[in-house]
Structure 1
């Protein structure tokens, strides 16, 4: 096999004359180097190759879009009650209606209800009536609302064509309120409290962890003792005490932010310890010593040289911390010491469903909020694991 190679700025592009496969040509005077690829592109490239993490990320994005457009996506307002449909069971979609002559035609609808008397429990129950058709459509007119509290609207993504017809895709609760609509509204609160709580924990953890690891000495000792005291506090009694201090006259918005602060006060310690460990390992590296000899201030060393090298790791840790915040809010609300009506969250929905009749006759009131929490937590965990693996410089 004879091979002829030509190099140089004036010799034209690289080419190979051979019996084997040809080499793709390069532009004149250009070379390919992986050094030109930035760290974020490397992380993104490794993350895209992890299919489970990408699916989890898509689910997380979907949940936040649901929370963002909750008013438009929900067929009804969360507090709208219709006592005549108390504990109505979920309805399923149907696409065709059978005519008397035996043929069928397309008609997007759900089945109506009929009332039966439970002779043992001596109460009425609802069952799906196959003979009643409730036509439904998209972008239908319904209850008026203000999108994001700013834009007056009355269009809903899906709903019955006749507002008086019942449509309970996931069933109704003890007051005849639509569980699907309440679940959609609860997604906004439960998912956002995780972000707000993690943002506050991120600030505390990064700042205190950076100071502790960079300065060391008595500053490090003091911050570590504070972390140990906070970590040693029993969680449930502490939540009970802090929640009991919230005045009953406060508005739901104020209670929301106080609960967020309570959850955040216990979530920053692990991040602070991880940041401290990284600072202890990097503060004596060559690039830090060179920046110090160049006259960089301590603040510049921390925020411009050391901390940016930890960004990908911090993002991965924060992603794994969000589900902890969601579960904490759900637990507080379920125990009755967190958010309370009229605020709607997944924890509030679970708290409303904790009675014997619900478990016996309306299990969907527990299933749907629990399933939402499980899906959100697992998605964040899978996405956080993928992001952490993608940010690992030693993982090829």
Structure 2
């Protein structure tokens, strides 16, 4: 048999350093219908406003189709940018149109920020652990990561010493229902963090995809708002993926106009602009207050399924295993005794048709292999109970 054709191609140094997402590799396993998957970070489809989006796409195409199907400005659809600025200003920000860039999902925001802020060897501060997708995006530009310690209250501002912050291009942080841990920074830590950023002169990238998914506790002010009060440079990322639907691939960056200008130049070299039709349809969906009607339904889905998982963990997991208790979002973080490697545990769990994400890949520094991330967002309560019981039985054999 002839050998398959192999094209001659010399990949760049950057391409040769690319790796597949650990989560995406696990998701290949979870495509099997019999697998109970706590691995994905996917929003609950039951929360997608399908009929509302059908109406808005129809309206845009019927009333303004030629504009919707045409190229648009790199900065984004002006009415949507204005809506984003006004929405953030309600929470105490002070933004104008020039402070907003619409992007193709917040993952593109991470990539564009990496392009304009990171050189090879640049110091980048990240929480320990942090969002795997951010590490994957930033790592293309070969930074030198420096990790900031965390505890049950999230990032510890006091851990950011002058020595640690020296020369840092930015700190990447998720203050609300952090991925992977589900932890939230309280107001005192937020204020201390922006004070650190102002005094030590490093920017903060505030990634907040889950902030609207709070179903317990008290809302906290954004780092963007608090930072403006003390002169900290905060770049805020938001997305419509968790409040409407991820298939829209629509997010935004709010930042100083100087930063937005450089991001626009980087985006022009990437995809010219985010799809006009999608931006116009989303604007039609949100402009008259639809999110205020829609989000309580979404929050209730996550509240019920999160409560079910917490109750199942209490019932099924052995002593010596601990977990976070999130006030919102889609994830919680489990820590097992130090001698248990959750990567090996995953292999055993998949054999019994249960999947989760081992914690190791979420660490930019030394990985903690006795951790795992569980997502309850897309799993019905009956399957949550079944899947946690299987994991609990496996853990009881090891503690």
Shorter-chain TM-score tier = under 0.3
Pair member with larger Rg: 1
- Name the structure where helix makes up a greater proportion of residues: 1
TM-score (ref. length: structure 2): 0.25
